[in-house]
Amino acid sequence: MNSLPSLRALQVFEAVGRFGGIVEAARRLGISAGAVSQQMKLLEDTLGLSLTHKVGKRIRLTVAGQRYHESCAAAFESLRVAQTEVERSKNASNLRISALPSLLSQWLAPHIYAWQDEHPQLNVFLDASHAEPSTEGYDIDFRFTYGDYVAGENAIELYRDCVVPVLSPHMLRADAALNSPGDLLAYPLLSIDWLPKFASPPSWRDWFKSRQVDCEGLRDGYRVYSLSSMAIHAALAGQGVVLAQYSMVADELAQGRLIMPFAHGLPLPSAYFLVGAKGAFDRAHCRDFHRWMVARGREQMVASQRLLENT
């Protein structure tokens, strides 16, 4: 077969499979049941196979029909998503942001909320994803990501973070006072591993060695998280001590929900970047947001650097 079936016939078939029958599909599409049956017959004639069979008074998809419907449903869902994105892109009051999940929840979101409070007329769409979206289409205005070097005409380094040991004050034990870095070995140590997507942050073994602590007996895989935010939440819940990114726990430290027993940090191997999509800077509110976030990144860079210099 060199050509695709009728798009209308595919749309009707997708509705029949999704809504479980001809009558309901006709109602949802706003056409007659006879028109649905006609389109179904046209599609089956084009494909040269039956897509449905009768079970009593109802019809069911055949095995081949089920497989074909899965592909059709996915295709129409992609079209619906694309249409939504196009409609969003035409709205001048929209701001669409994509970011790594932990960065978005632990550092970026509070800044975005503060900025939006000053621009209440704007709609902000937040997408937490490890997948790098295209900066050429309608998906996003800005992407916050991480790496050694992020290519792109509109890419700018925000800040390079560092990791510090933090734990809930409720975890402190009288029989395990934290007077020196080595005392942390008596506590459960939570780890973060980003591989294979990114090079992982400094490990506990790295941190103890930087403090000249003998850690040969250290258990490396006690409890390992792929997301920094998960490890931080575990520390807040009193599950252990974590080497957390300073930018992601600064608020919790200021509020006393976490404590830093030793102000010794190790820098991350890479930096966080802000990437602007093609055409984003044509809109005034996007230019304003970019300037505002670059300033927040510079503030975070100064705070992290100050911590590193004091250790």
Give per-residue pLDDT as tens, 263-277: 999 999 999 999 998
Q: What is the CATH number of the domain that holds 69?
A: 1.10.10.10
| Band of residue 77 on the pLDDT scale cut at 50, 70, 90 | confident
Taking only the tens place, the pLDDT of each residue in 39-52 is 999 999 898 889 88
Could you tell me which residue, 151 or 192, shows the higher pLDDT?
Answer: 192
Query: Do 103 and 179 have their domain in common?
Result: no
Picking from 88, 115, 136, the residue at the C-terminal end of a domain is: 88
| Sign of the C-alpha dihedral computed for residues 75, 78, 80 and 82 taken in this order | negative
| Band of residue 133 on the pLDDT scale cut at 50, 70, 90 | confident
At 91 the pLDDT is: 58
Could you tell me which residue, 93 or 53, shows the higher pLDDT?
Answer: 53
Could you tell me which residue, 256 or 199, shows the higher pLDDT?
Answer: 256
Could you tell me which residue, 282 or 248, shows the higher pLDDT?
Answer: 248
At 177 the pLDDT is: 86
Query: Do 81 and 35 have their domain in common?
Result: yes
Query: What are 224's strand-pairing partners?
Result: 191
Task: Count Cβ neighbours within 10 Å for each residue of 146-164 and write b for 16 or more, e otherwise.
Answer: bbeebeeeebebbbbbbbb
pLDDT (average), residues 284-297: 94
- For helices 246-255 and 228-236, what crossing angle results, to 10°? 20
| Band of residue 235 on the pLDDT scale cut at 50, 70, 90 | very high
Query: Do 175 and 116 have their domain in common?
Result: no
The whole-angstrom separation of Cα 227 and Cα 204 is: 16
DSSP 132: -
Taking alpha carbons only, the member of 261, 264, 265, 266 closest to residue 168 is 261
Query: Do 260 and 168 have their domain in common?
Result: yes
Query: Do 291 and 145 have their domain in common?
Result: yes
Domain housing 301: 91-160+270-309
Query: Do 215 and 185 have their domain in common?
Result: yes
At 151 the pLDDT is: 66
- For helices 33-47 and 22-29, what crossing angle results, to 10°? 110
Asked if residue 1 belongs to a domain, the reply is no
At 78 the pLDDT is: 85
Residue 121 pLDDT > 60: yes
pLDDT (average), residues 24-40: 91
Other CB atoms within a 10 A radius of the CB of residue 35 amount to 15
Residue 185 pLDDT > 50: yes
At 138 the pLDDT is: 52
Least confident piece of the model among 132-146, 147-161, 202-216, 251-265: 132-146
At 104 the pLDDT is: 96
pLDDT (average), residues 125-152: 81
At 259 the pLDDT is: 96
| Band of residue 216 on the pLDDT scale cut at 50, 70, 90 | confident
Residue 100 pLDDT > 50: yes
Query: Do 197 and 225 have their domain in common?
Result: yes
Picking from 64, 88, 112, the residue at the C-terminal end of a domain is: 88
Residue 1 pLDDT > 60: no
Domain count within the chain: 3
Phi, psi of 212, rounded to the nearest 5 degrees: 55, 40
Asked if residue 277 belongs to a domain, the reply is yes
At 144 the pLDDT is: 95
